[in-house]
Chains A and B, each alone.
Chain A
Amino acid sequence: MSDTTIDPKSPHLIDRVVIRFAGDSGDGMQLAGDRFTTSSALLGNDLATFPDFPAEIRAPAGTLAGVSAFQVHISDHTISTPGDSPNVLVAMNPAALSANLAALPQGATIIVNSDAFDERNLHKAGYEEDPLADGSLSAFTVYEVPMTSITTESSKELGVKPRDAERSKNFFALGLISWLYTRPVEPTLDWIAEKYAGKDLVKEANQRAFKAGYHFGETAELFESSYEVKPAVLEPGEYANITGNTAAAWGLVAASITSGLPLFLGTYPITPASDILHELSKHKQFGVRTFQAEDEISGIGAALGAAFGGALGVTTTSGPGVDLKSEMMGLAISLELPLLIIDVQRGGPSTGLPTKTEQADLLHAMYGRHGEAPMPIIAAKTPSHCFDATVEAVRIAVKYRTPVMLLSDGYLANGTEPWKLPELEDLPVIDPGFATGPNHVDEDGTEVFWPYLRDPETLARPWAPPGLAGLEHRIGGLEKSDGSGNVAYDGANHERMTRLRAAKIAGIAADIPPTEVDDEEGARVLVVGWGSTYGAIAAGVQRVRARGHKVAQAHLVHLNPFPADLGDVLRRYDKVLVPEVNLGQLSRLLRAEYLVDAIPLTQVSGIPFRAADMETAILHLIDDSTGSAPAAAEGSDR
Chain B
Amino acid sequence: MTDLTEAVPVALTTRKDWSSDQEVRWCPGCGDYSILSAVQTLMPDLGVRRESTVFLSGIGCAARFPYYMSTYGMHSIHGRAPAIATGLATTRPDLDVWVVTGDGDALSIGGNHLIHALRRNVNITILLFNNQIYGLTKGQYSPTSEIAKVTKSTPFGSLEHPFNPLSLALGAEAGFVARTHDMDRRHMMETFRRAHDHKGASFVEIYQNCNVFNDGAFEQITGKDHRADMLIPLVHGEPIRFGSEGQFGVIMDPDGSVEVVEVATVGEGALLVHDEHKGNPGLAFQLSRLSRGPFEPTPIGVFRDVEHDEYGAQMTEQIETATERRGPGDFAALLRSGSSWTVS
Contacts and interface: CB of A to CB of B under 8 A. Distances in A.
A147 to B, nearest CB: 26
A554 B85 CA distance: 43
Interface in A235-249: 235-242, 246
Nearest to A235: B343
A254 interface: yes
Interface in A338-369: none
Given A285-B322, A466-B51, A475 B75 contact: yes
Contacts of B328: 285-286
A474 B72 contact: yes
B77 A477 contact: yes
Contacts of A465: 1, 92
Contacts of A313: 87
Nearest to B320: A284
A327 B341 contact: no
Interface string B3-21: 1110000000000000010
A487 interface: yes
Nearest to B321: A284
A241 B337 CA distance: 11
A587 interface: no
Interface stretch (A169-177, A203-211, A304-312): A304-312
Interface stretch (B63-71, B203-211, B260-268): B63-71
B162 to A, nearest CB: 23
Contact of A240 (B49, B51, B340): B340
Given A250-B334, A421-B340, A476 B74 contact: yes
B91 A306 contact: yes
A41 B91 CA distance: 39
Interface residues of B, number: 65
Interface stretch (A21-29, A287-295, A618-626): A287-295
Contacts of B2: 467
Contacts of A231: 343
A287 B1 CA distance: 13
A328 B87 contact: no
A486 interface: yes
Nearest to A240: B340
B335 A421 contact: yes
A289 B116 contact: no
B20 A474 contact: yes
A331 interface: yes
B342 interface: yes
**Of A239, A262, A470, A472, which is in contact with the most chain B CB atoms at under 10 Å from its CB?**
A472
Contacts of A487: 22, 67
A537 to B, nearest CB: 26
Given A42-B339, A254-B331, A328 B112 contact: no
A605 to B, nearest CB: 31
A327 B22 contact: no
A527 interface: no
B339 A306 contact: no
B80 interface: yes
Contacts of B332: 424
B22 to A, nearest CB: 7
Given A284-B323, A486-B22, A308 B84 contact: yes
Given A240-B336, A295-B112, A301 B80 contact: yes
B97 to A, nearest CB: 9
B329 to A, nearest CB: 3
Contact of B91 (A254, A289, A301, A477): A289
A473 interface: yes
Contacts of B90: 264, 289, 291, 302, 306
A612 interface: no
A503 interface: no
A301 B113 contact: yes
Contacts of B334: 250, 253, 283, 286
A266 B112 CA distance: 16
A236 B71 CA distance: 55
A331 B322 CA distance: 34
A56 to B, nearest CB: 27
A492 interface: no
Contact of A302 (B52, B54, B59, B87): B87
Contacts of B199: none
Given A474-B67, A474-B74, A284 B322 contact: yes
B147 interface: no
A477 B1 contact: no
Contacts of A301: 76, 80, 83-84, 86-87, 113
In order of increasing CB-CB distance, the 7 nearest A-B pairs are A476-B75, A305-B87, A301-B83, A302-B87, A286-B329, A305-B84, A284-B322
5 contacts: A235-B343, A298-B113, A301-B87, A302-B86, A478-B75
Interface of B: 1-5, 20, 22, 49-54, 56, 59, 66-67, 69-77, 80, 83-92, 94-95, 112-113, 116, 315, 318-319, 321-323, 325-329, 331-332, 334-336, 338-344
Given A266-B86, A467-B92, A474-B75, 18 more contacts: A41-B339, A234-B343, A241-B339, A264-B90, A286-B328, A291-B90, A293-B83, A293-B116, A294-B83, A294-B113, A307-B87, A421-B335, A466-B52, A467-B1, A469-B49, A470-B51, A472-B71, A477-B77
